Amino acid sequence: MKKKVLVMCTGNSCRSIIGEALINAKLDDVEAYSCGVAPSGKVNPNAKKVLEQKGIWKDEYHSKNLDEVIDIPFDLVVTVCDHAHETCPMFPRAVPKIHVGFEDPDGKEFEVFEVTYAEIKSTLLPKVKEVVGV
């Protein structure tokens, strides 16, 4: 059975979407979801573009609120921005939580999204593997 991981940030338009896509593409025994504490309602076009270029974009990825995923029995919650880390909501059951922060690329040029993608891949994936034991 796959481990379930939730990647949270504030707007759920860049970092958490990239994290969700990377985990789903690179970690065979993990199923990732993402959400925002104040979702923007859209995926940043540059986040989508970098995921498309890497061949891991799925049309099902979208900006969503915690309410859309709260009933999923997560094995791990990861916050990827300081604001989400500080305001991470209470879950209906005990869930391990870790914080792995990344600078917000929103509003910056595409090259910054490529750097963010590389940082999330090299930093977040090993942490998730370690914590969920895959």
Q: How do residues 71-87 score in pLDDT, each as one tens digit?
A: 999 999 998 987 655 66
Indicate which residues carry an active-site annotation. 9, 81, 88
Q: Is the pLDDT of residue 129 over 90?
A: yes
pLDDT tens, residue by residue, 89-100:
555 667 888 989
Number of neighbours of residue 126 by Cβ within 10 angstroms: 11
Q: What span, in angstroms and rounded, lies between the C-alpha atoms of 132 and 134? A: 6
CATH (domain of 99): 3.40.50.2300
Please check whether residue 27 lies inside any domain of the structure. Answer: yes
Kindly report whether the global pTM for this prediction surpasses the value 0.85: yes
**CA separation, residue 22 to residues 32, 89, 91, 105, 121 (Å):** 9, 24, 24, 16, 7
Query: Would 132 be classed as within a structural domain?
Result: no
Kindly state whether residue 48 falls inside one of the protein's structural domains: yes
Domain membership of residue 11 (yes or no) is yes
Domain of 89, in residue numbers: 3-127
Number of domains in the chain: 1
Please check whether residue 133 lies inside any domain of the structure: no
Beta strands in 62-101 (DSSP E): 76-79, 97-99
